[in-house]
Amino acid sequence: MTGTVSETGQPDLVAHRPEPWRFMRLARIIGAAKAIAREEFGVEGGSAMVEAMRWISDLKGDFTVGWDATKHRPEFNAILTRALATESETDIEFHLEYEDPVP
């Protein structure tokens, strides 16, 4: 059973089991990534990274992120990988999505 948490202006959080701690973990990863991006690129860089991220998922320990291809910058992948390490995880898969997001 997969669960999703959606909030306007934020990436969707998707988890294999809809348990609160799983969504909190994904939110912490996004927060860590935004902090790293701010340090490296300033406030605008942190915001740009979150805007480019459509969703992040944890499906049985397999982390995946979907980027809006029109907003993605290659350095965002490295930042998200570093943020994932704050949760003692090392592997994440990246996807570029070219279609318009669903409203």
- Model pLDDT for residues 24-80, shown as the tens digit of each residue: 989 999 999 999 999 999 989 999 999 999 988 888 778 888 898 899 999 999 999
Q: Is 53 exposed, middle or buried (CB count within 10 Å of its CB: 0-12, 13-18, 19+)?
A: buried
Q: How far apart are CA 71 and CA 11, in angstroms?
A: 13
In a domain, 10, yes or no: no
Query: In total, how many domains does the chain have?
Result: 1
Beta bridge partners of 12: 55
Measured distance CA(18)–CA(76) in Å, rounded: 27
- Is residue 3 in a domain? no
Asked whether residue 13 is domain-assigned, the answer is no
Neighbours of 86 (CB within 10 A): 14
* Spatial separation of the C-alpha atoms in residues 10 and 2, rounded to whole Å: 19
**Domain, as residue range, for 79:** 18-97
Does 39 reside within a domain? yes
Residue 77 forms part of a structural domain: yes
Which pTM was predicted? 0.82
6 lies in some domain? no
Q: Is the pLDDT of residue 82 over 80?
A: yes
| 35: in domain | yes
Is the Cα torsion angle 35, 41, 47, 49 positive or negative in sign? Answer: negative
